Amino acid sequence: MHVVILGCGRVGATLATKLVAEGHTVAVIDRESESFRRLGHGFPGKTVLGIGIDEDVLRKAGIERAGGFVAATNGDNTNIMSAQIVKVKFRVPRVIARIYDPLRAEAYQELGIDTMSTTLIGAGICRDFILGVPYHTIEEYQSGASGASSAPRLQRPAGAVPERSR
Amino acid sequence: MYIIVAGAGKVGYYLTKALRAAGQEVTLIEKLRKRYELLHETFGDSVILGDACEVSTLEAAGAARADLIAAVTGDDEDNLVICQMAKRKFKVKRVIARINNPKNEVTFNLLGIDETVSSTKLIYSLIEQEVEVADVIPITALRRGHLELVEVALTAASPAANRRVRDLALPPNCALAILVRGETSEVIINGDTVLLPGDLIVAVTPASCVQALSDVLLGGGVPAR
């Protein structure tokens, strides 16, 4: 499978080297050439310099024949926007966006964009480890079912929108 | 009408000012504390501190009762997310997104944000018009305004294009002096000179004949300035 990865940070680079080692073809996009150093010497995949919300850049990375797309820049909104472009315009079957803000992740999950909130997952794993309880599934961490959704805003009842005092 | 303006840069600031002056209820959202504090002096509690991409900020701004949200930050991605969140999470009826990269307009439409404003595109289209519309541009007035030195750029559509100068019915006392062709070539015009599209002509004309000269070189309907 051809996979396009946006953002050559730690997650992007690690994932890229993993996938090529498993025999997949990979193209990594980043707006700074310096980031590609994380891929190490002799990375057999493609590197594309550019911004991930630019369709020409995505095409250069082979998005039209890609089976998967991962948006893992450190900007939530860049990830959200590029994931939507890839899903809606290029119809890549498996698209995921890494989103730090749990509420934004939740909102876009509702909109049909697969999101991965490393914030919720990380917090959930830490909680389970500290409390010495069995680990939960990723879905449980992300939905807050593990009790780890300590982000207090998630518990606010829907519709409780405060009228602005003026 | 209740309006939320997201992003208090220059666009957001003047937009908020104008809307308030027009008697609208406006809340301005700004992410940076320093900028927020500055604006608080002008707008008081009508400006709030927060990231408009976050649900909690939009909630605090009262997005649920907003009639319109204008996302005018300098980041296209942010403007997209603000509009999508407002539309889908808070059911805001009208959302307007500012776009910096004109290429993103199509993308925004594709992703459900139909109302976009691109200043880049606006200015570009104005310039484009300016470049394409043939025109007579005054350079200077000679002899206390009786004669004018003007510049005329020919386009492919100009009736004088591809014609010899002697075959043109120029108004009386008008003279085509020099033409500039391409980047470097300058030609003293005589009767045998053939004018080409793209030529820049410097002409001398009585002030009263500028329009007539324009009609001959560029065709009727092009107002001379």
Least confident among A114-118, A119-123, B41-45, B122-126:
B122-126
A35 pLDDT above the threshold of 70: yes
Q: Do A89 and B110 touch (CB under 8 A)?
A: yes
Q: Does B104 touch chain A (CB under 8 A)?
A: yes
- The confidence score (pLDDT) of residue A146 equals 63
**Predicted ipTM of the assembly:** 0.79
Q: Which ranges of chain B have pLDDT less than 70?
A: 125-126, 128-134, 143-145, 221-225
- Among A15-29, A31-45, B136-150, the range scoring the smallest mean pLDDT is B136-150
Give how far Cα A92 sits from Cα of A15, A96, A106, B117, B189, Å. Answer: 18, 10, 21, 29, 62
Instruction: Please give the pLDDT value at position B128.
Output: 61
Q: What is the pLDDT of residue B2?
A: 96
B30 touches chain A (CB under 8 A): no
Residue B143 confidence (pLDDT): 61
Mean pLDDT of chain A: 87
**Mutual orientation of helices A118-131 and A102-110 as an angle, nearest 10°?**
120
Task: Tell me the mean pLDDT in the region A70-85.
Answer: 95
Give the count of Cβ contacts less than 8 A between chain A and B. 69
For chain A, give every domain's residue range. Answer: 2-116, 118-153
Domains of chain B, start order: 2-119 (3.40.50.720), 132-218 (3.30.70.1450)
The pLDDT value recorded for residue B211 is 85
Q: For residue A107, which of B108, B167, B83 has the smallest C-alpha distance?
A: B83
**Residue with more model confidence, A23 or B150:** A23
d(CA A139, CA B85): 22
Angle at the Cα of B27 from the Cα atoms of B55 and B90, rounded to 5 degrees: 35
Q: For residue range A49-76, list pLDDT tens digits in order.
A: 999 999 999 999 999 999 999 999 999 9
| Closest CA in chain B for residue A164 | B62
Q: Which residues pair with B95 in a beta bridge?
A: B69
The CATH number fitting domain A2-116, selected from 3.40.50.1860, 3.40.50.80, 2.30.30.90, 3.40.50.720: 3.40.50.720
State how far residue B215 is from chain A, nearest Cα, in angstroms: 45
